[in-house]
């Protein structure tokens, strides 16, 4: 690098193809295959990526020379995708004592930034490997493929069906990554069923509710300013006054999630009337 100014463009192109960069393992790699800290780096970024990528540091001037030969100061989206597709680096880091979920999520966030530039082939591979981070019902971390976990949009259902949960909260980049790779929202996978218990009969209480609906049903069909609500059936103003209200002993609610039924115990919180 001391003679960089004298290196011709043809020689620089050849350098980019040569395995001349020594590694701690005693091997040699092309400059484009290694990561080096940039001169403006404070080290924090390298500390985050170094669990998945090997950084080589020969000092600021030499590092800048390696960058001119094709080395990178930070991984690209393709670099992250290749690491996740390979899987071995992710699994090794996940099982290590130094595993840090915040750092791993930051790596996933970097991958998300480049989603639009990834090919369909790469995305297809990412769809079927265990590289996404999820939280188990016992609040432990777990690697999974996108179809095994859920984005959470109903915390009440989450407490009941206990899925593997995507730890993305309101992070738009991570939500985009998880959903693009095939992770589904919990509400799209849960079906709710209600079954009345006992014989439906007319009671003073059900009659009172029926009369109340007939009296105030216009409130159900209009906004506060008096304009009609959207997506209301055209004949709703005829149907609501004619509703017949019956009372049952109870209502059994069941959530069906991925073939498993979960009976809700808090039926006392439900109305004992069915319309």
Q: Are residues 270 and 198 in the same domain?
A: yes
Does 229 reside within a domain? yes
Task: Find out whether 163 and 195 touch, Cβ atoms under 8 Å.
Answer: no
- Number of residues that this document lists for the chain: 275
Does 82 reside within a domain? no
Residue 259 has pLDDT above 70, yes or no: yes
Q: How many domains does the chain have?
A: 3
240 burial class (0-12, 13-18, 19+ CB within 10 angstroms)?
A: middle
Tens of pLDDT, residue by residue over 60-110, are 888 888 988 889 888 877 888 888 887 676 777 777 777 888 888 988 998
- Of the CA atoms within 13 Å of residue 210, those in its CB half-sphere come to 17
Distance, CA of 239 to chain centre: 42
Which residues are registered as beta bridge partners of 261?
256
What is the average per-residue pLDDT within 103-118? 88
Q: Are residues 182 and 197 in the same domain?
A: no
Tens of pLDDT, residue by residue over 174-227, are 999 999 999 999 999 999 998 899 999 999 999 999 999 999 999 989 998 989
Residues 6+ apart with CB under 8 A from 158: 152, 165, 186
- Three-state DSSP class for 194? strand
Task: Find out whether 174 and 168 touch, Cβ atoms under 8 Å.
Answer: yes
* pLDDT for position 268: 46
Residue 18 has pLDDT above 80, yes or no: yes
Does 243 reside within a domain? yes
Token couple for 50: 């170094």
- Host domain of residue 14: 4-74
Does 81 reside within a domain? no
- Three-state DSSP class for 177? helix
The rounded mean pLDDT for the chain is 85
CA distance 221 to 236: 8
Task: Find out whether 217 and 237 touch, Cβ atoms under 8 Å.
Answer: yes
Plot region of 231 (φ>0 → left; ψ -120 to 50 → alpha; else → beta)? left
């Amino acid at each position: 690098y001391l003679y960089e100014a004298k290196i011709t463009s043809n020689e620089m192109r050849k350098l980019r193809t040569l395995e001349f960069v020594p590694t701690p393992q005693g091997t040699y790699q092309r400059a484009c295959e290694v990561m080096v800290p940039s001169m403006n780096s404070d080290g924090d970024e390298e500390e985050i990526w170094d669990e998945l990528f090997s950084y080589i540091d020969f000092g600021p001037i030499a590092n800048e020379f390696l960058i001119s030969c094709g080395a990178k100061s930070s991984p690209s989206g393709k670099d992250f995708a290749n690491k996740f597709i390979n899987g071995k680096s992710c699994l090794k880091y996940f099982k290590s004592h130094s595993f840090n979920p915040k750092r791993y999520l930051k790596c996933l966030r970097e991958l998300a930034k480049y989603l639009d530039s990834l090919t369909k082939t790469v995305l297809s591979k990412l769809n079927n490997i265990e590289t996404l981070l999820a939280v188990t019902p016992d609040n432990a971390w777990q690697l999974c493929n996108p179809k095994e976990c859920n984005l959470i949009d109903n915390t009440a259902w989450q407490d009941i069906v206990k899925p593997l949960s995507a730890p993305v909260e309101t992070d738009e980049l991570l939500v985009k990554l998880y959903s693009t790779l095939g992770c589904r929202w919990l509400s799209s996978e849960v079906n709710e069923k209600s079954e009345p218990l006992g014989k439906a009969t007319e009671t003073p209480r059900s009659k009172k509710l029926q009369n109340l609906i007939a009296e105030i049903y216009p409130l159900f069909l209009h906004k506060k300013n008096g304009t009609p609500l959207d997506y209301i059936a055209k004949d709703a103003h005829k149907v609501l006054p004619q509703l017949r209200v019956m009372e049952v002993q109870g209502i059994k609610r069941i959530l069906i999630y991925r073939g498993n039924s979960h009976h809700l115990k808090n039926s006392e919180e439900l109305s004992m009337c069915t319309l």
